[in-house]
């Protein structure tokens, strides 16, 4: 479940099955209920002390399917997902997402691999609930979103040390519809619209957040390193930065990994860092 002490708490979890059709073709099927961690409102919920209203704590509920082909040098993949978004006193929403990409390993030996490719992600939400007034969800929910990336990945090992460095550059475009201040409460919405019209209070026309459309550069960079300290103990560190929509995100973490069985021989790469169990299904 989401952390104890949040104003709104939710049970979360998921199931995933990975399978293979041939030695080159694999697939994955998943269903999940995940916390939406875009903002304090969507993740934890909020309470307005003046009115006593409480809302937030949004979850995404749905399924994801993916299909991939890889011959050891080249590969391609596609995926599709449906998610229903719901929260306490938050308007419900539906999202449809898809994407795919191709890649090639331009250099590969026993200890390192350099991979380049191109990928895209498409998604659409029924409603724009990106804002924070009562009934809004506080999560990015565009009516149209497209991104085209050129990713590069270098991964390998040097003795007991394994590493994975990734970067991408691309272009992203999104469009958001106008959205009512209070999508669940007709009385609050009517009063806000009347105030905006008659009092000239500086509220947006019709008490709606205006729609917008933007195109810009997307980028990301991440690095993971892990060192096998002992046959059953490894130390790792990870850092990343990137952008999406109006957000800039930085992440840094260190971790210890303990294995119940001894890890001997050559270390496999790339390393898999310890990550949060609260990530969304699309991640």
pLDDT at 193: 85
Q: What is the pLDDT of the chain when averaged over all its residues?
A: 91
Tens-place pLDDT, residues 197-208: 776 556 677 888
d(CA 62, CA 56): 19
How is residue 73 annotated by DSSP? S
Mean of pLDDT values over 186-210: 79
Q: What residues contact 178, with CB distance under 8 A and at least 6 apart?
A: 128, 206, 208, 209, 210, 211
Angstrom CA distances, 119 to 47, 78, 80, 105, stand at 40, 10, 14, 15
Mean of pLDDT values over 80-106: 97
State the DSSP H helix or E strand holding residue 193, giving kind and residue range, or none if neither.
helix 186-198
What are the backbone dihedrals phi and psi of residue 77, each rounded to the nearest 5 degrees, phi first?
Answer: -155, 155
Question: Do the beta carbons of residue 16 and residue 281 sit within 8 Å?
Answer: no
Look at residue 192 and give its three-state secondary structure: helix
Lowest-confidence range among 24-33, 72-81, 138-147, 249-258? 249-258
Question: Do the beta carbons of residue 214 and residue 199 sit within 8 Å?
Answer: no
Dihedral sign for Cα atoms in the order 100, 217, 36, 223? positive
The answer on pLDDT for 152 being more than 90 is: yes
Q: Which residue ranges form the domains of the chain, and what is each CATH number? A: 60-258 (2.40.128)
Tens-place pLDDT, residues 108-141: 999 999 999 999 999 999 999 999 999 999 999 9
Q: Is the pTM of this model over 0.75?
A: yes
């Amino acid at each position: 479940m989401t952390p104890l002490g949040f104003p709104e708490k939710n049970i979360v979890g998921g199931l995933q099955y990975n399978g293979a059709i041939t030695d080159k073709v694999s697939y994955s099927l998943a269903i999940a209920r995940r916390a939406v961690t875009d903002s304090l409102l969507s993740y934890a919920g909020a309470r307005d002390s003046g009115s006593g209203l409480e809302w937030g704590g949004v979850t995404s509920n749905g399924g994801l399917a993916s299909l991939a082909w890889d011959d050891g040098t080249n590969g391609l993949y596609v995926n599709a997902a449906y998610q229903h978004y719901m929260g306490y006193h938050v308007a419900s929403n539906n999202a449809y997402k898809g994407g795919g990409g191709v890649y090639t390993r331009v250099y590969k030996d026993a200890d390192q691999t350099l991979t380049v490719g191109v990928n895209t992600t498409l998604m659409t939400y029924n409603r724009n609930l990106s804002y924070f007034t009562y009934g809004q969800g506080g999560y990015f929910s565009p009516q149209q979103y497209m991104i085209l990336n050129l990713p590069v990945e270098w991964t390998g090992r040097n003795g007991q040390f394994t590493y994975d460095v990734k970067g991408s550059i691309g272009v992203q475009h999104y469009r958001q519809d106008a959205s009512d201040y209070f999508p669940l409460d007709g009385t609050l919405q009517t009063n806000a619209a009347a105030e905006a019209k008659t009092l000239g209070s500086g509220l947006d026309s019709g008490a709606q957040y205006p729609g917008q459309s933007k195109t810009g550069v997307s980028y990301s960079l991440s690095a993971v390193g892990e060192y096998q300290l002992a046959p059953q103990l490894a130390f790792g560190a990870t850092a990343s930065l990137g952008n999406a929509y109006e957000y800039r995100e930085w992440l840094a973490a260190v971790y210890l990994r303990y294995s119940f069985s001894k890890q001997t021989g050559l270390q496999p790469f790339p390393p898999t860092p310890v990550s949060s169990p609260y990530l969304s299904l699309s991640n």
